[in-house]
Amino acid sequence: MRSKLIEAATNARKNAYAIYSNFHVGAAVETSSGKIFQGCNVENASYGLTICAERTALVSAIAAGENTFTHLVVATENGVSPCGACRQVIWELCGDIPITLVDETGACQETSASKLLPHAFGQQDLDS
């Protein structure tokens, strides 16, 4: 399944609307039901309205009624990790899931939400 996720994220990257940064990002998330949801970054002249690929994929899955996630893949030109905002959203929606970072050559780096966001803050902290 990981190869399907990598392919989905790489293909989603081609759809990125990155006219300001020219930094195309694709993401794919797998749900516990086995469905794959893709996302790409969509930029806006009002920079704060830009949405990252990771959040696009997760929001699409949530909108489709999915809320349990098993793996996330992020595809960029150079295999960089998600931004801070995405790290927080990943933690909130997915918990400590495995994350694969893939670059344009197909090289992969395996990590996890807890490695990308140590000492994470979440809903469980609000309940105490």
Give catalytic status of residue 54 as yes or no.
yes
Given the residues 30, 43, 54, 110, the one annotated as active site:
54
**β-strand pairing of 98-102 with 69-75:** parallel
Dist CA 76 CA 107 (whole Å): 11
**Spatial distance between the Cα atoms of 74 and 30, rounded to a whole number of angstroms:** 12
- Residue 117 DSSP label: S
Tokens of 88: 């927080």
Dist CA 110 CA 9 (whole Å): 15
Exposed, middle or buried, 82 (CB in 10 Å: 0-12/13-18/19+)? buried
Catalytic positions are 54
